[in-house]
Amino acid sequence: MGLSRRTFNALAGATALGLALGGSGAMTCAYAAQTAPTGPPPDTPGADGRRHTIGFDRYSLLVDGRRLVVWSGEMHPFRLPSPSLWRDILQKMRAHGYNTVSIYVSWNYHSPEPGHYDFTGIRDLDLFLRTASETGLYVILRPGPYINAEIDGGGFPGWLTATEGRARTADPTYLSYVDEWLTQVNAIVARHLYTRGGGTVLLYQIENEYDAYVDEPTGRDYMAHLYRKVRSDGIDVPLFHNDKGRNGYWIPGSFDTGGEQGRWLYGFDGYPSPTLTPPDWGHFGTGGVKGGATASPQTPGFVPEFGGGWFDPWGGAWFDRKGYAESRRLRDAAYERRFYLTNLANGITLHSVYMTFGGTSWGWLPAPVVYTSYDYGAAIDEGRQPTAKLIPMHQLGQLLRHFPDLAKLDRAADVETDAAAEGLKVYHLTNPDTGAHVYVLRNDGELPVASELPLHGAELPVPVAVPAQDARLLAAGIRLGRRKLRYSNAQPMLALTAGRQQIAVLTGRSGEDTVTALECASEPAVTVLEGEAEHAYADGLLRIEAQLDGLTRVLVSGGGTSTPLLLLLADDETSVRLWPHDTPSGPVLVYGPALLRTAAVDATTVRLTGDTIEAADLEVWGPRGIHELTWNGRELKAHAAASGSLRAAQPLAGVGAVALPALTNGWRRKTENPESAPAFDDSSWTPADKTTTHSTTPVPAGQPVLFADDYGFHYGDVWYRGRFTDATGAESVSLAYSTGTQGLLMAWLDGRPLGTHRMPVPNNKTVRKGSWTARAVFSVPEELRTDEPHVLSVLVRRMQRDQDGKSEDTHKVARGLTAVTFAGAAPQLSWRLQGETAPDPVRGPQNNGGLYGERNGWHLPGYGDGGWEPVRLPRADRRQGVTWYRTSFRLAVDAGTDASVGLVLDDDPARAYRVQIFLNGWNMGQYINDVGPQHTFPLPNGILRTRGANTLALAVLSDGTTPSGPSDVRLTLLGAAAGGVPVLSLPGDTPGPPAVASPGRSA
């Protein structure tokens, strides 16, 4: 048995447990630390067919015995439903310094029914893992079974809500379903383990932020079961869990791992507010089990999720209705420097940013707490465009790759600052192997700070400036190739050897004065090739002073070293146009374009692919003997330059204009909801005849089970029709219902609208509320209070399920109607209900709901709408129910242009209506005009045909109290670049034959 958490906490200070293990399957002794000296990091990973080892000590991961600092970013393949574009995001991450991508795999996305799993098309996990390997990124895999992720049900499939067994416990029924899921996932993952050379999966997470039953047998047994299951499926990389905060939950030894030791990592998540001081969760913190990394002192500091932004709720309460632009402003590049550098100073060497690309919670994927966009304020926005937040990620990622000293740092002596440097905090660390010193300077004040610091190796204090609410990293004693950097007040970014010289890049804010000192045994020859710089040599030090403005180039030759050093001093904006890339022939450094995707050396030719936005010069440093360049397959004239580089004779062209058509003409309109008419034939609908349920919502006495999930309807809208014969004396009807945030209900009696009830817009206190219940009371018209047959028709927009973050089975809270009663009468109702039909085998179960138009293919491009009414926008209809609008448009974007296009909907915010957006049959999300804040919806290339015809369908749901649109509907260009990746169009015209027959569903 594993130690209890309480017992282990008592022993943690004296006993070292989490040690290292290689991927061969042989275990090391639990008390014999496997370690490694500071040295070069592992090579760029790939599916090389060779076996690799993955271990760790208290400092870092050890890959093949070499230290690796994990600099990771989160993206979710399910939030970008165009597999071609996965490569685009991964290449952007790799180019900007990330060495790892972290992904959730969402159970509900792959499983429409028990026993049925789909890993094809947009769900092709194997393809994603292959693409990550080809891009040179490690993968942190996080398949749950619970993932949270602001996704419907926290990733639990809809069908799980109608099963017995308590989720996230050791309940055997629940575990049987979990095992089924993990068997499917792990069969794919096992082929891509880095330990076996089949791919780049580096780490594997079990469960997610699991803080329930920590000290109870069912919790420990649950974690032990997941551990055993994953290992039995052949997953041999280190496993971990992410603590929801700093609680010391699930540290090594806290549950039974079947005798394995040294293969389990403790991780904790952190989303500190930008208005607070960055926290110390390691070397400089409070220590103990609630101190972050100190909870597991013999494993490296690991933050599987650190805030790269924050999600936004319906109504935009958190960001003053300004949406993700405000999220990005609050957690900007300066935030990243302050908070991420603080993590590095605290010994966090496994660092993953959630999110780096947020993407889109399209269709019915989003949990109730969020709207369609999951932009998150991330470094790469929802339209796949780089933002200024990539600058520190680029700089720090390259730093950690090129300077191995940072993989093994201990706390060093405190550094005194000037008394006048109010708000300045200095972290001082040193590498015990190399003697290098690292300083993190953080300014928590509201004003810039200038101070002099006694950096190691400097005879006099070095002047340092840190802008307000910002930070920087300085180093002393690190190697720049064969030379040593004694000190500098500029931040190191990279050092590599290209051809006959070594190159080092130091960075900082534009306009800053820098001083850099290099150790030289004798006076070197110094040539300022570009920019302005002054230099002086004395007492074995070459001192170079320059102001950061673009790119300053200083060539240092001799001085006791035969290899010249090209020192490049770059301001922030310039630094993100410097692209190092490893090739089998040696490193390549490219300067100029907006993005470098790939680089290869072929004899004397360097072949590059990438993007430009504006016209850009192209300059390349690479192995000796190169004298030819190609860019995106086109040969360029090039010449040798004084910096030892190869320069293109002409600038690379920028991106051309992208023309987008107007969407004012060509619309056709048709009203629906025939289900509200008393004569509608509902004989094929599902009878509501259940009397018991596995839901956590009680069934009201005397009522049948009306919950949609119990009848196999898990996504989107649900219709109910109740027949009864006597309404004599009925004054009103009361409809109790349960939905997610912003759910609503509409009712008709004998075809007459009774009205609409909607859940309130969340405020700061209720934005996290995942389930909402209400009772809608409507008057029964006098003329309908008869003893004749009647039909009560009800449409419920359910808005999906709670995420069950507290492990209380809240994903099983009912959705849809829960009870129906009359005042003044007590008729007996016979109910039938209808939701979504069988899942679309291409788009998946979350694409469609139960609207009449969805069930009959009105959203599909191939649908014949010739008989619909031609209309023009804007519209001002007033009716309760659903109206569809369809149009088509053509795009003719140049083949060499990557254009990201969005759809904008705007209208008078007083108008109460919402729109489901279908592009070529794909549900791109939901717009709520009077709630917001989202107005722009990205249309991913592949679903969007950028060179061809497209069909746009809008399903407008309005309550009849105000005029409803659509009003202003237009395309907008979110960004464009010359370059991009090849994109395959996804199937669109028809859903094809059902892949799975769904019980309780009928067309």
Q: Are 906 and 968 a contacting pair, CB within 8 Å?
A: yes
Question: What residues does 443 pair with on adjacent strands?
Answer: 424, 470
User: In this prediction, what percent of the chain has a pLDDT beyond 70?
Assistant: 95
pLDDT at 862 over 50: yes
pLDDT at 30 over 60: no
Q: List, for residues 661-676, the tens digit of each pLDDT value.
A: 999 889 999 999 999 9
d(CA 951, CA 935): 19
pLDDT at 23 over 70: no
Give strand ranges (E) for 858-946: 869-871, 880-892, 897-906, 913-919, 922-928, 936-939
pLDDT at 89 over 60: yes
pLDDT at 9 over 80: no
Q: How confident is the model at residue 987 (pLDDT cuts 50, 70, 90)?
A: confident
Residue type, 556: V
Find all residues with CB under 8 Å of 554, minimum gap 6, and list them: 526, 527, 528, 529, 533, 535, 544, 546, 566, 567, 569
User: In this prediction, what percent of the chain has a pLDDT beyond 90?
Assistant: 94
pLDDT at 997 over 90: no
Q: What is the mean pLDDT of residues 238-263?
A: 97
**pLDDT recorded at residue 418:** 83
- Radius of gyration of the chain from its Cα atoms, rounded to whole angstroms: 30
Residue 719 to residues 680, 707, 820: CA-CA distances in angstroms?
A: 12, 11, 14
**pLDDT recorded at residue 211:** 97
Catalytic residue flag (residue 305): yes
Give the up-direction half-sphere exposure of residue 57: CA atoms within 13 A in the CB hemisphere.
Answer: 16
Of residues 74, 113, 207, 209, which has the active-site annotation? Answer: 209
Which of 238, 204, 193, 178 has its CA nearest to residue 104?
A: 204
Q: What is the mean pLDDT of residues 202-226?
A: 98
At residue 176, the 3 state secondary structure works out as helix
Q: What is the mean pLDDT of residues 5-14?
A: 32
Which of 136, 138, 145, 123 has its CA nearest to residue 76?
A: 123
* Count of residues in the chain: 1003
**pLDDT recorded at residue 50:** 97
Q: List, for residues 405-446, the tens digit of each pLDDT value.
A: 999 999 999 998 887 789 999 999 999 999 999 999 999 999
CB count within 10 Å of CB 246 equals 21
Q: Are 444 and 469 a contacting pair, CB within 8 Å?
A: yes
**pLDDT recorded at residue 989:** 64
Give strand ranges (E) for 136-254: 138-142, 201-205, 239-243
**pLDDT recorded at residue 999:** 31
Question: What residues does 605 pair with on adjacent strands?
Answer: 602, 628
CB count within 10 Å of CB 51 equals 14
pLDDT at 2 over 70: no
Q: Are 599 and 606 a contacting pair, CB within 8 Å?
A: yes
The mean pLDDT value of the chain amounts to 94
Q: How confident is the model at residue 990 (pLDDT cuts 50, 70, 90)?
A: low
pLDDT at 25 over 90: no
**pLDDT recorded at residue 35:** 82
At residue 63, the 3 state secondary structure works out as strand
Residue 164 to residues 224, 805, 873: CA-CA distances in angstroms?
A: 21, 19, 50
Which of 940, 1002, 993, 964 has its CA nearest to residue 363?
A: 940
Q: Are 392 and 464 a contacting pair, CB within 8 Å?
A: no
d(CA 25, CA 263): 10
Q: What is the mean pLDDT of residues 60-70?
A: 97
Tell me which of 8-22, 402-416, 628-642, 667-681 is least confident.
Answer: 8-22
In the block, tokens 């100029």 appear at 592
In the block, tokens 């000293």 appear at 405
pLDDT at 996 over 80: no
CB count within 10 Å of CB 870 equals 9
What is the rounded (10 degree) CA torsion for 18, 19, 22, 28?
-110
Hey, what are 613's tokens?
A: 């936005």
Q: Return the ∠ at Cα 883 (arms to 314 and 918), rounded to 5°.
A: 60
CB count within 10 Å of CB 410 equals 11
Q: Are 798 and 815 a contacting pair, CB within 8 Å?
A: yes
In the block, tokens 């390349």 appear at 620
Which of 631, 909, 944, 921 has its CA nearest to residue 761?
A: 909
Catalytic residue flag (residue 209): yes
Q: Are 265 and 203 a contacting pair, CB within 8 Å?
A: yes
Q: Are 829 and 843 a contacting pair, CB within 8 Å?
A: no
> Does an H or E element contain 552, and which?
strand 551-558
Of residues 207, 305, 619, 675, which has the active-site annotation? Answer: 305
Q: List, for residues 918-976, the tens digit of each pLDDT value.
A: 999 999 999 999 999 999 999 999 999 999 999 999 999 999 999 999 999 999 999 99
In the block, tokens 């987008």 appear at 660
d(CA 915, CA 671): 14
Q: What is the mean pLDDT of residues 487-512?
A: 97
Q: Are 801 and 158 a contacting pair, CB within 8 Å?
A: yes
d(CA 77, CA 105): 8
Three-state helix/strand/coil letters over 24-61: CCCCCCCCCCCCCCCCCCCCCCCCCCCCCCEEECCCCE
Q: What is the mean pLDDT of residues 818-843?
A: 96
d(CA 209, CA 355): 16
Predicted TM-score (pTM) of this structure: 0.95
Which of 136, 143, 133 has its CA nearest to residue 76?
A: 143
**pLDDT recorded at residue 33:** 42
pLDDT at 517 over 80: yes
Q: Are 658 and 893 a contacting pair, CB within 8 Å?
A: yes
Hey, what are 68's tokens?
A: 């690796």
Hey, what are 347's tokens?
A: 């010994």
Hey, what are 25's tokens?
A: 């399957």
In the block, tokens 């045994």 appear at 521
pLDDT at 13 over 90: no
Which of 822, 790, 783, 792 has its CA nearest to residue 726?
A: 790
